[in-house]
Amino acid sequence: MSTKFRDLLALEPLTADELGFLLDQSKPFQEIQKHPLKKLATLRGKTVALAFFETSTRTRISFGAAASRLGADTMNLQAEASSLKKGETLLDTVFNLNAMKPDCLVMRHAASGATDYVARHLDIPVVNAGDGTHEHPSQGLLDALTIRDRLGTIKNLNVTILGDILHSRVARSNIHLLGKFGCKFTLCGPAMWVPRELEKIAPGTPIRCVYRIEEALHGADVIMMLRVQTERLNDPPLSADDYILLYQLDAERLRRASPNAIVLHPGPINRGIEITPDVADGPQSCVLEQVTNGVAVRMAILYLLISGATETDTHPALQVKSKESANASD
């Protein structure tokens, strides 16, 4: 009954069943985060290549921790130090990495679609750790896991996303995942970041764009904050003070949401810009749970992709109808 995943490039093409399966498979790894001894030997001898062509701290460390807790080794490529600076093409860089025989490639790139493009040229599993403004699947999964743990379900929730949605791959992955479970979305932020076209990005999912934060928060079960990329505030001009005045999530505005509403933020947080410290550190905030769950989700992804890519069709035990009823493997 297990679902076969070769790569994890986007959440959009996955069904609700497949997404639910990925979330369920993360649960055993959440338990392992609580063990005194967190290291498994499951992927011993395997190597995960981490190629971050766009800078990242949290996601790269999280994938690295996930790999090492599964017993795998990592190879690291960071944009600043790479030969891309010397003019090598993306594919050449990736082929060189692949020639060092990793068992899986985790990749981030500033261009949307770059991960799909690379995956088409490689025979090892590829995980998208964020491509341009397209998707960030592991973030979508860890957010859903966090919501499910806190609220008990991810079905039929009112989800409000605040901030620069136009440029956000996190928002897209969340909409594609939660939308398949009947969630309704309210997108809110300055008009330049929340164009009406966003209402059509996930056919079948109710999405509305509103421009007043008070209206957007009304009745929300989940509030997803996005980081305000301060460098983008200048073009077109919107001062940080105006942003705070119009769109900052503070305790008073939060009261308009459902009493049990939770607040998510993918980080890094700009305290005092998009969110006030009392909300970021308050009881409704899940930001650190998100980080903890991120390691579990990424362990599940690496486990599934790497175990799925290892000699699957030749072993005689496969002909036994199923592991449980046959105890052929006992």
Partner 1 sequence: MSAPEIDRTLQRLAHEIVEKSGGTKNLALIGIVRRGVPLAQRIAQAMRGIDGVDVPVGVLDITLYRDDLSKVAPQAVLRSSDIPFGVDNMDLVVVDDVLYTGRTIRAAMNGLFDLGRPKRVSLCVLVDRGHREMPIEARYIGRKVQTSDTEIIEVRLQEIDKEERVVLVDRVE
Residues 43-62 that bind partner 1 (CB under 8 A): 43
Residue 42 vs 284, nearer CB to partner 1: 42
Residue 3 vs 258, nearer CB to partner 1: 3
Residue 123 Cβ vs partner 1, minimum distance, rounded to whole Å: 16
Residue 235 vs 311, nearer CB to partner 1: 311
**Cα distance between residue 129 and residue 170, in whole Å:** 11
Q: What is the DSSP letter of 285?
A: B
Report CA torsion sign: 257, 258, 262, 264: negative
Examine residue 65 and tell whether it contacts partner 1 (CB under 8 A).
no
Residue 138 vs 160, nearer CB to partner 1: 138
**Cα distance between residue 150 and residue 318, in whole Å:** 39
Examine residue 3 and tell whether it contacts partner 1 (CB under 8 A).
yes
Q: Which H/E stretch holds residue 161?
A: strand 158-162
Contact 136, 173 (CB under 8 A): yes
Q: How far is CA 12 from CA 96, 171, 299, in A?
A: 30, 12, 21
The correct pick among 123, 197, 241, 330 for binding partner 1 (CB under 8 A) is 330
Residue 45 Cβ vs partner 1, minimum distance, rounded to whole Å: 9
Contact 98, 136 (CB under 8 A): no
Report CA torsion sign: 280, 286, 288, 291: negative
Examine residue 152 and tell whether it contacts partner 1 (CB under 8 A).
no
Examine residue 192 and tell whether it contacts partner 1 (CB under 8 A).
no
**Cα distance between residue 296 and residue 161, in whole Å:** 24
Contacts of 201 (CB under 8 A, 6+ apart): 172, 175, 207
**Cα distance between residue 260 and residue 111, in whole Å:** 37
Task: Give the residue from 154, 135, 158, 156 showing the smallest Cα distance to 145.
Answer: 154
Examine residue 318 and tell whether it contacts partner 1 (CB under 8 A).
yes
Residue 72 vs 280, nearer CB to partner 1: 72
Token match 């949307």: residue? 112
Residue 119 Cβ vs partner 1, minimum distance, rounded to whole Å: 18
Residue 14 Cβ vs partner 1, minimum distance, rounded to whole Å: 15
Residue 129 Cβ vs partner 1, minimum distance, rounded to whole Å: 21
**Cα distance between residue 79 and residue 226, in whole Å:** 24
Residue 32 vs 84, nearer CB to partner 1: 32
Site string for partner 1, 19-48 (x = CB under 8 A): ------x-xx--xx--xxxxxxxxx-----
Residues 250-309 that bind partner 1 (CB under 8 A): 300, 303-304, 307-308
Examine residue 5 and tell whether it contacts partner 1 (CB under 8 A).
yes
List of residues contacting partner 1 (CB under 8 A): 1-5, 25, 27-28, 31-32, 35-43, 300, 303-304, 307-308, 310-312, 315, 317-330
